[in-house]
Amino acid sequence: YRYEASRPDATPSSAGASEARPCSRPMVLPWASVTYADAEAACVRVGKRLCSPTEWQAACAGVDNNVYPYGNTYVPDTCNGVDADGIPGGADDDVLLATGAMMQCVSADGLFDLSGNLREWTDDLRGTTAMGDNVYVIRGGEFQTPWPGLTCAFDLSQAAGSVPLPTVGFRCCSDTAP
């Protein structure tokens, strides 16, 4: 997906409620607070799947193996991390933005928001909790993440698959180009 997954009824001010199918559209709020299983099922509904760590890393870093999707030097207001002001003109607002709202936060392949805005589920299973819940890697940082967690290579964020977190969304991948 070029953009973070969103619901079909999402708008610039609402993430929507329909879970019929995930979309990849600019300038709508992305689909957040989703469990791993629900994100995985949403991708399957459109003939895709959650991205593998290798796919996610390649999409973010590109052929030049960039540190950030946009290059090798951290620029605070390029992607929606903790240093960015999501709503200019007032206080420093760390808020979720519409997909593609930060137009410079784009990879060489034209994928938006791989750094900041929402962390994204990947199919990278890292273990289980004491209660037996699978733990997966979530990539990309989110709107409250400081710069070290916004790099393409950062893969230390993990979450239990059954927990819907407000700062976690997803992106679908496929074996063939759309």
Percentage, residues of the chain above pLDDT 70: 95
Domain, as residue range, for 141: 1-178
pLDDT tens digits, 127-171? 999 999 999 999 999 999 999 999 999 998 999 999 999 999 999
Cα-Cα-Cα-Cα dihedral sign, residues 109, 48, 134, 4: positive
Model confidence, pTM: 0.93
Which residue carries 């870093």 as its tokens? 61
Nearest-CA neighbor of 104 among 82, 87, 80?
A: 80
pLDDT digits (tens, 9 = 90+) for 52-88: 999 999 999 999 999 999 999 999 999 999 998 766 6
The pLDDT value recorded for residue 85 is 74
Query: What pLDDT shows up at residue 177?
Result: 66
Total structural domains within the chain = 1
Could you give the CA distance from residue 58 to residue 95 in angstroms, rounded to a whole number? 27
CATH number at residue 44: 3.90.1580.10
- What string of DSSP letters covers the chain? --S--B-TT--SS------S--B--TTS----S--HHHHHHHHHHTT-EEPPHHHHHHHHHTTTT-SBTTBSS--TTTSBSTTS-SSTTSS-------TT-STT-B-TTS-B-SSBSSEEEEEEEEEE-TTS-EEEEEES--TT--GGGGSTT----EEETT---TTEE--EE-SS--
